[in-house]
């Protein structure tokens, strides 16, 4: 069964450093998403991406964040200068076109720890 994959599973970084989180969405999906979950809190939407453009973004997704689809398979989230409060689990998701409904398939997550 196709699935969303994410690497690395755990990333530790120093405050102020740049990090790139990587995702491989399901191959025939057209929409891609990033969410985050701070420990003990709910899952929060960051951004969605379609046709090489941001489709929607939340207030959390400020200038420190960027997304990119560098090739035909990967989808990345970059945090330019990490802060302690960026420590969270980051989930990538993907979905098909509208006609089949808005079901998002989630990857296993990358746990980001900022020291």
Partner 1 sequence: AQSVTQPDIHITVSEGASLELRCNYSYGATPYLFWYVQSPGQGLQLLLKYFSGDTLVQGIKGFEAEFKRSQSSFNLRKPSVHWSDAAEYFCAVGAKKAGTALIFGKGTTLSVSS
The distance of closest approach from Cβ of residue 78 to partner 1 in the complex, given in angstroms and rounded to an integer, is 20
Query: Of 13-21, 54-62, 63-71, 76-84, which segment contacts partner 1 by CB under 8 A?
Result: 54-62
Q: What is the DSSP letter of 73?
A: S
> What's the Rg (C-alpha) of the chain?
13
* Alpha carbon of residue 88 to chain centroid: 11
Site string for partner 1, 5-44 (x = CB under 8 A): -------------------------xx-x-x-----xxxx
Question: How many positions of this chain bind partner 1 (CB under 8 A)?
Answer: 29
Q: Maximum distance among all alpha carbons in the chain?
A: 44
């Amino acid at each position: 069964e196709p699935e969303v994959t994410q690497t690395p599973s755990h990333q530790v970084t120093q405050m102020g450093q740049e990090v790139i989180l990587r995702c491989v969405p399901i191959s025939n999906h057209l929409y891609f998403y990033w969410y985050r979950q701070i420990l003990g809190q709910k899952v929060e939407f960051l951004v969605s991406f379609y046709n090489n453009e941001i489709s929607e973004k939340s207030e959390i997704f400020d200038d420190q964040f960027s997304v990119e689809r560098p090739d035909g398979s990967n989808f990345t989230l970059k945090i330019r200068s990490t802060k302690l409060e960026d420590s969270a689990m980051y989930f990538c998701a993907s979905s098909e076109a509208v006609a089949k409904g808005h079901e998002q398939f989630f990857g296993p997550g990358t746990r980001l720890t900022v020291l």
